[in-house]
Structure formats: C-alpha cells, structure tokens
Amino acid sequence: MVTVKPDYYDDFRCLMGECPSSCCTLWQIDVDEKTYEYYQKLDTPYGEYIRSQIDNIGDEHWIKVYNGRCAFLNDENLCDMHCQIGPKHMAFTCRQYPDFTIACDTYEVTGRTLSCPYVANRIVREKSKTKLIIEGKSHDEYENEIFHIVNKCIEIAQDDSIKYRDREKAIIDYIRKEQMYLVEKFKVDEIFMTEDNKTIWDYCDTLNSLNVVTEKWPKILSQLEELEYSENDIVKFEEYLGDREKEYENILVYFLYKHIMYSTNDGNVFQRVRFAIIATRIIFMVGLMKFIENEEFTTEDNIKVAYIFSKEIEHDDENIDTILEDISLGMI
C-alpha cells in the first residue's frame, strides 16, 4: 500500500470561533450509523438533547440546521457537542473534515480540502512548490501509472520556466497522449477528448445548473455572465499579479492532486484534468472580474474566492459528475 499526502498536510489548526466560513454552517451534516447508535444509547439529558436535534428518514440521519447553522454550533461559534461529549463521539463527517481520502486498491491519497479557510490560506499563500510525501510501494501497474500522471501533471503545473497560462496548455497536450496510452496499454474505454477552447461564458450554463449552498455563488455567477473583458484585461491582471500567479499554480496543483486519482475507477484522466483546469480558471476569472471592478485583488480576496468555490461547488459529488459529463459532451 502506498500512502500519499501533501507536505502542508500536518500544518493544520482549526480556526474554531474565528473561522470566517465554518464547516458547521450551510452544509447538512450526515450522522453515520455507528455514531447514531451511540447517541441512541446515550442515557443522559444531553443524549436526549442530541436525539432531538437529529432528523431521520429510514436509515439516513442528519443534524438539524437552523438559519444555516448546525444545531450544535453555539453562540461562540464552537461545537457544543465537542465540548459536552468529546470529539470521538462526533459524526464521522465532523471528525474527518477537512480531510479527504481517496482509497484505491493500492493507494491511499489523503489531503485537506480547499473549502476550509485555514487550508485555503495555507494552499494559496504557499511560496515553495508543493511536494508529495509518499510512503510504501505498489506493484499495481495501472494504479502506478495513474499516480505517475498525477505527479507529471503537478510537475508541469509547477514549471515556472513557462508562463502559468502556457502550463495549462502543456498539461492538456500531455494528458491527451497519456489518455491514448491508457487505452492502448490498459484497455480502458476510449473517450472523446474535446478541445480546450471554451470561454467563461461557455461555462455559465453548466455552472448555473449546479447545486449550491448559498446565494453567494449564483450572485458571483450572474456578475461573471455580465463580465466584459478583453485579452488586454487578462494581460493587465497577469502583470498586476506578477509573482502572485503562483497562487493559481497552487490552486491548480490542489485540484490535480485531489481529482486525478479518482480516475482509477474508469481510466478517464483527461476529463478530470480538464476539470482541474476549468475549476482553477473559474477562480482566476472571478479574480479578473474583481480586479476590473476595483483595480485591486488581494491574496485575501483570492483565498476567499477559492474556499467559496470549493464549498459551494467542489464539495458536491453531483456537481462534479455534471461538470465531467458536460466536459465529455464538449459543452465546456
């Protein structure tokens, strides 16, 4: 078994009451069966209170949400359940967040999600090239190949001898060849590899069809739809960013790392790489829009855009499926 994590993984500190977008707001938090059973047996007044704050349909259980806040989020923005019965009795989702794990047959790829403001801050501000910490060995040729693709895409994304925009093109050129190699060598299904020639306006229909958790994202999206910009505006924004283009490299590396390994299911690396590029491009375009509007766009602004995008869009599996489907149809 090979375990992989990014080098920033161990640098994590929950912002708790200071968090600007707590994971205890906006999402519906599912309660896993084992934890639910524990709550059922908790014979204390607090146990009774916990049970009163959980809704159920069949064997699905979730915590009630009031005005977008988890029922257990107290006035200090701290988790009341954490204080009362300790972290080990919280639902699996709460114990795991902000971690994600992609469990393949011989790889376990772990990371921290961009939707958490602490993690977004850490990722976007990173000055050095993100490295992966890899332990163990796999003899699974196919999974080794997919992991090789992850590494190669990250290497191209971090190639600062070429402009950031040209790295996206280089990644697409590389992944086309790799996709054909997977078809030939590992007999994965052939896919239609669409052109990467769409603009932000082409993305809007797809983006409008996605599930969101607040009104924030549709508002940003409707502003994006109205955005009038030229190549000159992009060049000006790139000049304004200077070395800060690295922020987009970091975001792209995050998406490549998190999403390509899912391709071990179907061998479709092309669409997942395009997803990573499109996701980063949308975050870039929101930055461009804010820059045109205000003539400035700070790193703090970029961190906020990144965690809003991840929280609103990336966290929903249905959204990912819709985007991958629209990529496969050549719509985006």
Which spans of this chain sit near ligand SF4 (rule: CB under 6 A)? 14-16, 19, 22-23, 97-98, 116-118
With respect to ligand SF4, which residue has the nearer C-beta, 138 or 214?
214
Q: What is the CA radius of gyration of the chain?
A: 21
Separation of alpha carbons 138 and 92, rounded Å: 28
Contacts of 292 (CB under 8 A, 6+ apart): 227, 229, 233, 237
Q: Measured from the CB of residue 311, what is the shortest distance to ligand SF4 in angstroms?
A: 9
Rounded least distance, CB 77 to ligand SF4, Å: 8
User: What is the pairing mode between strands 65-66 and 2-6?
Assistant: unpaired
The CB-of-252 to ligand SF4 minimum distance in angstroms stands at: 22
Q: Which is nearer to ligand SF4, 28 or 199 (CB)?
A: 28
User: Least distance from C-beta 50 to ligand SF4, angstroms?
Assistant: 20
Strand runs (DSSP E) across the chain, as ranges? 2-6, 54-57, 60-63, 65-66, 69-70, 99-103, 107-112, 132-135
Measured from the CB atom, the residue of 16 and 191 that comes closer to ligand SF4 is: 16
Only one residue has tokens 């820059």, namely 291
Nearer to ligand SF4, 118 or 255 (CB): 118
Least distance in angstroms from the C-beta of 282 to ligand SF4: 21
**Which of 302/310 has CB closer to ligand SF4?**
310
Separation CA 13–CA 7 (nearest Å): 15
For the CB of residue 196, give the shortest distance to ligand SF4 in the complex, in Å.
32
Three-state SS for 161-224 is CCCHHHHHHHHHHHHHHHHHHHHHHHCCCCCCCCCCCCCHHHHHHHHHCCCCCCCHHHHHHHHH
The smaller minimum CB distance to ligand SF4, of residues 76 and 184, is found at: 76
Decide: helix, strand or coil at residue 60: strand
Of 89 and 176, which CB lies nearer to ligand SF4 in the complex structure? 89
Say which residues have a Cβ less than 8 Å from residue 68's Cβ, sequence separation at least 6: 25, 26, 214
Peptide bond into 98 cis (omega under 30): yes
Query: What is the token pair recorded at 295?
Result: 């003539």
Task: Compute the least distance from the CB of residue 331 to ligand SF4, in Å.
Answer: 32
